[in-house]
Structure 1
Amino acid sequence: MSQPDLTLVQVPEPSQIRSRQALERLLAAGEELLANNQFEEASVADIASQADSSVGTFYRLLGDKETLSLLLLQRFMQRLVEATASLRDAGAGCQNLAEGVRLLTDTYIDVYTGRRGVLRAVILRASRSTAFRDRVHQLNTHISETACDCLAPYMDQVLHDNPRQAVASGVQMVLGALNQHTVTGTLGGLPANALRNEIARLLLGYLRGPR
């Protein structure tokens, strides 16, 4: 299965170690500002200062704030693709549908954890840009198809007239719930330490529910 093209911006990787470290600090600073809902009002000088860098280094490595913003979104989406790819091999080690479901839900919870600001930015940009929204749809389709492949050995345990459709739909419901939990910090009052069990139960209950 081919991976979706999630390229939003091209930023050459610095050849020098010091420059690569500076770029990582700038990305970390940008992500922290997104998490605190301060990215929009932050100046390039603010971001550079928070990253223990200089304005000159910022412009040399990134060019402008828009490039930094797009690069942060791109990295988050690439993390989702990488996590999804890891499911192919890991899924073979599961013994049944319940274990496969837990693998899926834990994988995406790990990616979403601590990404509140970036996820909020993804949702906001998708609401404003048709082109970006299309990229998100491609990513969601890729995730659903891979989830179906991961759970393929256990489809006979899925109580639905169309097991693949049920898995694809169920995974998107899980991602929607994680969007809610990550952005708002809550999911119907669910404590953070109960999230993993309840999300896994949500998907497993749907797949094992009445036809």
Structure 2
Amino acid sequence: MYSISSPTQARSRKALERFLNVTAELLAENRFEETSIAQIAQLAESSVGTFYRLLADKDVLLYAVHQRFVEQSQLAIGELLADLQRNDAPLTEQVEGFVHGIIQLFEGHEGLLRALIRRSSSDLQFRQRFHELNAYIGHSLRELVLAHSGELSHPYPAQAADLAAHVLLASMNYFTMVGTLGETPRTRVAGELSRLICNYLEA
């Protein structure tokens, strides 16, 4: 069981943040596994002793990076949903705005996400954290869609909204791991995924 305690001292909190930032960069560059704790400490402008005092080992460090990404992502998604719900745009525009926001959230973090997805395939605690993030994304999309149920012609709006969320999550997972969605250019992914979802919802 991985356990991360927030340091009480400002100096330790800053050191922890540097460790997390360095690790996120190493994961993005596929260099985390081959980088020693001593090298991580050097890159973070800290010491091996501080590393062990704050994090114990590389598994805890990796989990801390994952935990931070999930928490920051949930906060950003919550803000995105609130912004979309404040305007009176039709559902088709709001869905596109939501999908575009999710893609932007993951953009630039593909290397980090790929490493974490691979780790989650063999580690229950990592997998649970990913399920938590996916559930939050799915719940947010369903909330957005069902607030406009009057614009839907699908006979089962709640079920359709749930399945649409799974389609989005599966597409984003594939997009993250492979880097493309078939022949669809990256610049058109948000628009095409939104069209797919809205056509299925009969919006």
1:86-134 CA distance string (max 9 Å, x none): 2442223242111220232122112211112332233223321345434
Unpaired runs of 5+ in structure 1?
1-6
**Aligned-partner SS, 1:151:** helix
What is aligned with 2:118? 124
1:92-107 equivalence runs, <5 A: 92-107=86-101
Question: Quick one: percent identity of the two aligned structures?
Answer: 37
Q: If the length of structure 1 is used for normalisation, what is the TM-score?
A: 0.82
**Residues 159 and 46 of structure 1: is their aligned pair in 2 closer, same or farther, counting only changes over 3 Å?**
farther
Matches within 5 A, 1:1-211: 9-16=3-10, 18-90=11-83, 91-208=85-202
- 8 Å contact 2:37–2:58 — kept in the other structure? yes
Aligned residues: CA RMSD: 2.4
Helix, strand or coil at the partner of 2:167: helix
Deviation at 1:22, TM superposition (A): 2.5
In structure 2, the CA distance between the partners of 1:159 and 1:187, relative to structure 1 (3 Å rule), is: same
How far is 1:27 from its partner? Answer: 1.0
Q: Deviations over 1:170-207 (max 9, x none)?
A: 12211222222222222214333333323322322332
C-alpha distance in structure 1 between counterparts of 2:80 and 2:35, whole Å: 38
Cα distance in 2 for residues equivalent to 1:171 and 1:58: 39
Unaligned runs of 5+ in 2: none
